[in-house]
Amino acid sequence: KVGELPQEERPQLGKRVNEIKERLLALIDQRSQELKIKELEESVAAERIDITMPGIRPPRAQFHPINQVLQEINDIFVSMGFKIATGPDIETDYYNFGALNFPPDHPARDLQDTFFLKREGLLLRTHTSPVQIRVMQKQRPPIAIIAPGKVFRCDADVSHSPMFHQVEGLLVDHNVSFANLKAVLNAFAQQLFGKETQTRFRPSFFPFTEPSAEVDIQCIFCRGSGCRICQHTGWIEVLGCGMVHPAVFENVNINPQEYSGFAFGMGVERLAMLKYGINDIRLFFEGDIRFLSQF
């Protein structure tokens, strides 16, 4: 609107307008400076690291409960002087059955119990006992070994899994007796389950031991008074054992007149279920972190 003013007033107005413009620019400059500083202060405050705050724990892996119990079992026997031996999961009929004195028509050789492979004569071992044969073929007495590992049976319910773990034991020397076997297994049970743990040896049968026994430990849930888990007997079966059968010694060229020995085989899942009070074996193999992280 400068053009609408009389000529003599124009320079005055121009001057005034310039002054106002200078002032506004100065104010804007000052304010934007203040805002920049404020913004910087706020972002420094928001991003400040408190080095005294506790950190966030990263999730940490741990051993599977079966491996924890397996480790514990191994440690107990190693402390008694046993060495650890291993054998293959895929076995031949000879190592799994024949050399262990199973007759050709024994029910364990049935398809219902054993996973046979397509290749003639091969199978998934049904127990860790074949490791006894493999060790005795290579080593002369004295022998004291345990053999931990996976075994496979055509079986599945709350207390049976088609794959589970066993620990085999074998001790061969001069004058080894059934009393020695009882002493070793009692000491083992007391170390795994506590000093007051009672065991019970029941006569049983295995083709590769004579005499044979099954060993129960007093039910740890009811301390022997009888409950659902021990089927009101007060006892839970945890292993099979016996004195090495002379026919087995002959199969590996050890003289049964000169040497005697004992063997045992225990179910690791059974022992772990007892130790931790777990009533369904399938929990071990479902891989649920909520279950596994409790151990």
Among 123, 147, 167, 241, binds ligand PHE (CB under 6 A): 241
Among 96, 114, 129, 260, binds ligand PHE (CB under 6 A): 129
**How far is the C-alpha of 209 from the C-alpha of 201, rounded, in Å?**
14
**How far is the C-alpha of 253 from the C-alpha of 258, rounded, in Å?**
11
Among 217, 242, 261, 274, binds ligand PHE (CB under 6 A): 242
Q: What are the Cα distances from residue 106, in Å, to 98, 102, 270?
A: 10, 6, 25
Decide if residue 265 touches ligand PHE (CB under 6 A): yes
Query: Least distance in Å: CB of 61 to ligand PHE?
Result: 31
Tell which residue, 233, 184, 192, 193, has the closest CA to residue 213: 184
Query: Least distance in Å: CB of 243 to ligand PHE?
Result: 9
Nearest to ligand PHE of 91, 168 (CB atom):
168
Query: Least distance in Å: CB of 261 to ligand PHE?
Result: 10
Measure the CA dihedral 98/104/107/108, to 10°: 20
211: preceding bond cis by omega (within 30 degrees): yes
How is residue 135 written in tokens? Answer: 């060790």
**Between residue 175 and residue 234, which ones bind ligand PHE under the rule CB under 6 A?**
206, 209, 212
Among 95, 97, 249, 264, binds ligand PHE (CB under 6 A): 264
Tell which residue, 157, 154, 191, 176, has the closest CA to residue 241: 176
Question: Which one of the spans 28-36, 142-150, 250-258, 261-269 is the region binding ligand PHE (CB under 6 A)?
Answer: 261-269
- Residue at shortest CB range from ligand PHE: 265
How is residue 290 written in tokens? Answer: 């909520």
**How far is the C-alpha of 146 from the C-alpha of 129, rounded, in Å?**
10
Query: Least distance in Å: CB of 128 to ligand PHE?
Result: 7
Residue 151 has phi, psi (to 5 degrees) of: -135, 160
Nearest to ligand PHE of 56, 149 (CB atom):
149
Contact positions toward ligand PHE, by CB under 6 A? 127, 129, 168, 206, 209, 212, 240-242, 263-265
